Amino acid sequence: MSAETQIENSSVDSKEKASASKKTKDKETKEKITKKSVLKKLETETAKLLEALKATANKKEFGRKIRDSEIIHIGLTLVKPEHLEGLKESTYSEKDRLQIVYLEYQKEHGKLTLDQFIGKLLNGEVIRGSEAK
């Protein structure tokens, strides 16, 4: 073999090795990410609260340190359906609330257009169920 052929073969071999090495590293990184990063981005206030709870819980003479995941697990088991409903309602825009009241009104009083409903709402003909009580 000529010197040029040997150089070309060695450069191809090194490129293949580098590519295989890179694929292995990428695969290892993906596995680490999926296994370790369960938590997404925490808001600063939430992170501070978690750290304060962890510091309080770890003020003890014996035993291992309490992990973030243990505190989060206890907190998640305490969440009730009414908490989730409150969270859902806090995400509604004014347009969403209007749509909800409009659909409720249609169920009770039959079909009418959104324009007709808004007219009745402005004229005071529509009273929401929670306001009527």
Domain total of the chain = 3
Residue 83 lies in a domain: no
Residue 122 lies in a domain: yes
Residue 24 lies in a domain: yes
Residue 85 lies in a domain: no
Distance CA 54, CA 51 (A): 5
Answer yes or no: do 23 and 49 share one domain. no
Answer yes or no: do 19 and 46 share one domain. no
pLDDT tens figures, 5-42: 555 555 555 555 555 555 555 555 555 444 444 566 88
Residue 105 lies in a domain: yes
Answer yes or no: do 67 and 99 share one domain. no
Q: Which domain holds residue 46?
A: 41-78
- pLDDT value at position 22? 58
Residue 69 lies in a domain: yes
- pLDDT value at position 52? 93
Residue 6 lies in a domain: yes
CA distances from 107 to 64, 75, 90, 104, 121 (A): 58, 38, 24, 5, 16
Answer yes or no: do 111 and 128 share one domain. yes
Residue 63 lies in a domain: yes
- pLDDT value at position 125? 87
Distance CA 124, CA 35 (A): 57
pLDDT tens figures, 34-80: 444 456 688 888 888 999 999 999 999 999 999 988 999 999 999 99
pTM over 0.85: no
pLDDT value at 107 more than 70:
yes
Answer yes or no: do 6 and 25 share one domain. yes
pLDDT tens figures, 80-99: 999 999 999 999 999 999 99
